[in-house]
Structure 1
């Protein structure tokens, strides 16, 4: 035993010398921040004096030598010192934020896809100096600056980063902080884009089902598929852009464009011929997939309640998993009418911010499934609250997600902690570098056979950025990579919303 301990002592001293040298090198590095340098000095480890423990039992020796091991930070003394960002090329521009602290640990969050990073940066002055582990209190301070859809991106990004930080500070996964987990893996549904031909569509489907093991698919049934087919759509010419398209995502500055006109106000109608054409598309996909796998649908176009019901009835025989966002989420009574008219389940919610705006849909049972996007709905805790509230009314929850692995993993933790959860969207199946933007801290796969693996022991979200890959996929219009953001440090308004 004594020879074993001598060997341990010798090896320990070598490791200590190497560790001390690396810390000192970081302290001496002029690029090391003052906060990080102070943290390193304060937490410098002394030697483990095994030499003085030669007469103890091995159990007492181990207990003594591990009693001061620092397994987490000092959460009560944590303070937020900075917020920085980088803009990735995911979905044409999705920002990842990093919230730094005085103890050298940081949290990662994400501003929803295609939203402005400044939605998050404007919140920096409101959170500097605060303890990031007071997640709910900080959320209540900043939630007034969120709104529907991408306007909530900044608030949700901060909330994600706070849970990542809090989990790291206490050394537990984010799902544990939400109350525990119901599942060890999270079912995913793979978004399947439209293809130029049936052969190409079959290739996309085979890749998802056979190669990657997905057990749930989603597809678009867009009236854009009817372009150039005479007699299929009424009133389309008035709305077409200069390319002859009914562009759902058109010029954001033109408030009178087709994409910016709410569904009831376009007077677009689908003819019986058009319904037959769209039915053939769905039938083709159903024949490729079979009936063992659910198929969800989305992005039909901007037309009214009546045509939504006509389209829904035409698709009933294919037993689709759901019709998503047929009309805007704000029209609770219209959703109730559609849901009552159709046997196929209905869902909406990816653009809804906070539980309070889900409640009317849930109370009226206007949809069968709620469908929040954690990067818009309020973050991890608010989304779990939304799911729990819906569960009380017998309404299930699926989750929308179309961003980077940061919001993806935040959604995985939330899904793991929510009982009535069905499936989480994975929108980047065909992007080969998407998963490589991050590294899991437990070394396990992030996705396996169509399921996201819940990190069981990794603190926070369970990921770290893979900087070499991330730098290769920054948006060309903004190559900023977590540069200083001092211009956002000063708070310049009195934000209280009551007198």
Structure 2
């Protein structure tokens, strides 16, 4: 068997799907979505086509090693997202050809389902109580929301009172809450905000500082008992290595569409397990990315909870299940997502709908924010 074709599709609202077909007709799908940079990832796929059309699709690790090491320049969000989408598609193709789920080929199941959480509140959090109650009505028991809108470098504790009230509103609706600082909060404010949140019993605080500031993260880890989560902007096991060694992180959040795919994230999770660190994969993306996450959850002991994008504020016009044929495969049940039992990634994509959507390629971009003084603000 040889790879005959590698295709990419711009799928709204902001996704990039990858389709791999062997010369004898076996097909696999993956997701290489890199929010706001679909064109760059699509360009990176050209080099992968040149190398791997004609290659044995079953040799997934060999393809990964060549793609990662063979181009001399390695790592980073664009190259690793392209590789992730290809790698997911290869597991899907191989599983479809052999009649096995990817998790079966990666060691077999360790759980039957995985707890899931949904987003509430939008970019600038609002109407939290109502949104949390709605998620409760959908069967969720956990939610995540942005802690704040954009924040200046310095501010008064009055700002934190609003954050605390929002968390309390979600908890009053019966929800466990994870709070995403989203890298918006600079260290002078992050230290104070973490301290103010301490009594609330949060699931975690996410990206209290950007991962480019490991020294500051280590400081905050010494100031709070709230579990610290990060990792969506880390792209390989080598990126995660110093954070695990430092002890500054309690939950890692690799994105299976940014960090090299299923097997690379399985290796990252194994590293984390050695440090007694949990895994909660980042996934505000499309159905293939989520299906890949569920393959990881199925065979990985330290996966604790799974993010999903159902009803997220980014999914304008198209939601998580729009391009999935069996929607129940990715539908939460009593706050949990079932482990797919089908071959490959366990879902089937509506190829005709994908090809039709691709005719009008999206050009999604994240917003650019500014502080009151006109200076750039982290989104």
**Which TM-score applies when normalising by structure 2?**
0.86
Quick check: 1:191–1:219 contact (8 Å CA) kept in 2?
yes
473 and 452 in structure 1: CA distance in 2 versus 1, 3 angstrom threshold: farther
Q: CA deviation at 1:308?
A: 0.9
The equivalent of 1:174 in structure 2 is 102
SS of equivalent to 1:399: coil
SS of equivalent to 2:343: coil
1:341-366 superposed Cα distances (whole Å, 9 cap, x missing partner)? 10111011011111111111111211
The equivalent of 2:307 in structure 1 is 425
* Uncovered stretches (5+) of structure 2, i.e. residues with no partner: 364-379
1:82 aligns with 2:10: no
Matching residue within 326, 343, 346 for 2:225: 343
Cα RMSD for the two superposed structures: 2.3
Structure 2 CA distance for aligned equivalents of residues 284 and 461 of structure 1? 37
The equivalent of 1:387 in structure 2 is 269
Q: CA deviation at 1:147?
A: 2.7
1:86-137 superposed Cα distances (whole Å, 9 cap, x missing partner)? 10113xx211010110111111111124232223233111111111110000
Structure 2 CA distance for aligned equivalents of residues 392 and 444 of structure 1? 35
Aligned positions of 1:334-483 closer than 5 A? 334-429=216-311, 433-440=319-326, 445-449=329-333, 450-456=335-341, 458-470=342-354, 473-474=357-358, 476-477=360-361
SS of equivalent to 1:336: helix
389 and 197 in structure 1: CA distance in 2 versus 1, 3 angstrom threshold: closer
Quick check: 1:223–1:300 contact (8 Å CA) kept in 2?
no
Runs of 4+ in 1 over 4 A off after TM superposition: 195-198, 430-433, 471-475
1:357-383 superposed Cα distances (whole Å, 9 cap, x missing partner)? 111111121111111111112111111
SS of equivalent to 1:87: strand
300 and 85 in structure 1: CA distance in 2 versus 1, 3 angstrom threshold: closer
Structure 2 CA distance for aligned equivalents of residues 197 and 326 of structure 1? 16
Quick check: 2:125–2:149 contact (8 Å CA) kept in 1?
no
314 and 196 in structure 1: CA distance in 2 versus 1, 3 angstrom threshold: closer
Structure 2 CA distance for aligned equivalents of residues 471 and 81 of structure 1? 19
427 and 130 in structure 1: CA distance in 2 versus 1, 3 angstrom threshold: same
468 and 127 in structure 1: CA distance in 2 versus 1, 3 angstrom threshold: closer
Quick check: 2:2–2:57 contact (8 Å CA) kept in 1?
yes
The equivalent of 2:145 in structure 1 is 219
Structure 2 CA distance for aligned equivalents of residues 400 and 197 of structure 1? 19
The equivalent of 1:102 in structure 2 is 23
1:33-82 superposed Cα distances (whole Å, 9 cap, x missing partner)? xxxxxxxxxxxxxxxxxxxxxxxxxxxxxxxxxxxxxxxxxxxxx10011
Structure 2 CA distance for aligned equivalents of residues 475 and 389 of structure 1? 42
Structure 2 CA distance for aligned equivalents of residues 337 and 195 of structure 1? 27
Count residues with an aligned counterpart: 351
119 and 402 in structure 1: CA distance in 2 versus 1, 3 angstrom threshold: farther
Matching residue within 209, 224, 228 for 1:327: 209
Larger Rg computed on CA atoms: 1
1:3-56 superposed Cα distances (whole Å, 9 cap, x missing partner)? xxxxxxxxxxxxxxxxxxxxxxxxxxxxxxxxxxxxxxxxxxxxxxxxxxxxxx
SS of equivalent to 1:438: coil
Query: Which piece of structure 1 moves more, 421-430 or 405-414?
Result: 421-430
Greater RCO structure (CA 8 Å; 6+ sep): 2
185 and 346 in structure 1: CA distance in 2 versus 1, 3 angstrom threshold: same
Matching residue within 93, 98, 118 for 2:43: 118
299 and 472 in structure 1: CA distance in 2 versus 1, 3 angstrom threshold: farther
Q: CA deviation at 1:406?
A: 0.7
150 and 324 in structure 1: CA distance in 2 versus 1, 3 angstrom threshold: farther
